[in-house]
Every structure is written in C-alpha cells, then in structure tokens.
Amino acid sequence: MAFDRRIRIAPSILAADFANFGAECEAVEQQGADWVHIDVMDGHFVPNITFGPETCTALRPHIKTVMDVHLMVAPVDRYLEAFAQAGADILTVHVEAGPHLDRSLQAIRALGKKAGVALNPATPASAVEFVLDRIDLVCVMTVNPGFGGQSFIHAMVDKVRQLRAMIGDRDIHIEIDGGVTADTAPLVTAAGADVLVAGSAVFKGGSVTDPAPYGANIEAIRSAAEGA
Ligand code: DX5
Ligand code: ZN
C-alpha cells in the first residue's frame, strides 16, 4: 500500500490544561485529532521544563491514536528506553541535541519505535541527508523550541520544500511544529508537509467541559491545509 500522505493534525498538549491532561487528550481525539503531540522539555536543551516518561505512561491509556513524543532533551540517549516503555509510538530527537544522531536513531528503531528527527530553525535540511534511511519522520521547527504561542518563521517554508525533494518516494512524514494556524498551514502543506502540530490554534476557546471549539479549530486548520 502506498505511503499515506493525507494531512494529519497533531494537537500539542503544551497548550492544554495541565491539571487535566488525560481528559484533554480524549477531548481532542473525539474532536478529530489524528495524533497527539507531547512536548518533553528538559530545561537544558530548551529554556523550559514540562514533563517526563511518567507523564507519558499515565497518558497512554487516554490516547487511542498516535502518541507522538517530541524530545527536547540533551543528552537524549539515556532516556529513549524510558519513553519507549511509556508507550510512545514515535520518538523524535533533535539534530542539535548531541553528536551521535545516527546512533540515537538506531536506538529508537531497536526499541521498536518510529524514529523522528527535529530541526531547529537555524539547522539546514542537509542535516538529515545521511540519515534518511533511518527515519520515519522529519520535524521542521517553525519556531525556536521551548514555548507555545510563538509566531511562525516564514523562512522555514523553503526548508520544507527542500526536504520534500530530498525525501523523494521514501516513507517519511514531514511534520511542522510551531505557529501553525489556518493561515500558515497551507504554506507548509503546499511545500510538502503532511503532519501539522498545533498547540494554541487547537486549544483556544475550548476546554474539557466545552470541547467543541477544539473540533472547529482542528477543522479550520485541516480545511485550510487541504485547500493548499
Ligand atoms: C515548541 C513545541 C511545540 C509547541 C507548538 O517548542 O515543540 O509543539 O507546543 O505550540 P504552538 O502551536 O502554540 O506554536
Ligand atoms: Zn513539539
């Protein structure tokens, strides 16, 4: 079967109610999310701290789709096993997080997980050129990692285009992370992206007791992205 490049929307729980993560994951899935994106920050690689493998373990039963774990952690290798055991489906590491990217990617696949690589805004597309056969996803950061609610960096659209050409017919998703809205989504899907992470643009206006706005927000991003 051909690789499925349908547009996927992956809400980031960084913008959810931190006192209600389980219910928030269920709410966004009921409202049409394709994946759930979990932003792990270590206060060292990025200037913010979020949560670790125990939170992922606790969330796993509340996520029926895909648990997409974005590790903003350095050094990361010593934590891969814990996040794999927590039930992640995809483990994404940063190119900039250590000197041995190829080794980290091999370790993720050896743990039976899909392997992703994230690129900070200043990191060129060529950084993944020699690991293409080891990855299932490349995540283009369209903000500097560390915080939700930042503005989309437009210069990244060219990077997406370059990656799409580089990937060719390989089964690799192009994920966009940061500042995704109904306005910016079509720019990146037209350039070749297929997975859109969105935090603030999905969770704005809703709550676990009033989740309908999540659905409307997801639909607005999806239809803008598909119309590109
Ligand atoms: C940033 C995170 C993103 C972030 C996106 O470091 O990796 O996933 O939550 O948030 P928005 O969509 O608000 O830019
Ligand atoms: Zn992220």
- Give the pLDDT of residue 45: 98
Q: Let me know how long the chain is.
A: 228
Domain contains 191: yes
> Is residue 128 predicted with pLDDT exceeding 90?
yes
How many CA atoms within 13 Å lie on the side-chain side of 61?
A: 2
Provide the Cα torsion 74, 47, 50, 125; round to 10°: -60
- Give the pLDDT of residue 139: 99
Distance, CA 49 to ligand 1 centroid (Å)? 13
> Is residue 100 predicted with pLDDT exceeding 80?
yes
CB 119 within 8 A of CB 138: yes
Distance, CA 199 to ligand 1 centroid (Å)? 6
Q: Which ligand is closest in space to the CA of residue 143?
A: 1
- Give the pLDDT of residue 6: 97
CA nearest ligand 1 atom 10, residue: 148
Say which CATH number the domain at 207 has.
3.20.20.70
Domain contains 144: yes
> Is residue 1 predicted with pLDDT exceeding 90?
no
The confidence band for 228, taking pLDDT boundaries of 50, 70 and 90, is confident
Domain contains 2: no
Q: Which atom of ligand 1 is nearest to the CA of 181?
A: 12
Domain contains 24: yes
Q: Which atom of ligand 1 is nearest to the CA of 178?
A: 14
Which positions are annotated as active-site residues? Answer: 39, 177
Please give the full DSSP string across 88-147, using - where no structure is assigned: -SEEEEEGGG-S-HHHHHHHHHHTT-EEEEEE-TTS-GGGGGGGGGG-SEEEEESS-TT-
The confidence band for 7, taking pLDDT boundaries of 50, 70 and 90, is very high
- Give the pLDDT of residue 193: 98
Distance, CA 43 to ligand 2 centroid (Å)? 15
**Residue-number span of the structural domain to which 132 is assigned:** 8-227
> Is residue 121 predicted with pLDDT exceeding 80?
yes
The confidence band for 145, taking pLDDT boundaries of 50, 70 and 90, is very high
In tens, the pLDDT along 49-85 reads 999 999 999 999 999 999 999 999 999 999 999 999 9
> Is residue 136 predicted with pLDDT exceeding 90?
yes
Domain count, the chain: 1
* Mean pLDDT of the chain, nearest integer: 98
- Give the pLDDT of residue 2: 78
Distance, CA 177 to ligand 2 centroid (Å)? 6
Domain contains 177: yes
Residue entry with tokens 């490049």: 5
Classify 146 in phi/psi space as left (phi over 0), alpha (psi -120 to 50) or beta.
Answer: left
pTM, full prediction: 0.98
Percentage above 90 pLDDT, the chain: 98
Residue list, ligand 1 pocket, CB within 6 Å: 12, 14-15, 37, 39, 70, 143, 145-146, 148-150, 177-180, 197-201
Find the mean pLDDT for residues 176-202. 98
Domain contains 192: yes
104: closest CA among 66, 131, 139? 131
Domain contains 3: no
> Is residue 25 predicted with pLDDT exceeding 70?
yes
Q: Which ligand is closest in space to the CA of residue 90?
A: 2
CA nearest ligand 1 atom 1, residue: 145
CA distance 194 to 36: 15
Mutate to test the pocket of ligand 1, among 200, 202, 204, 214 (most ligand atoms within 8 A of CB): 200
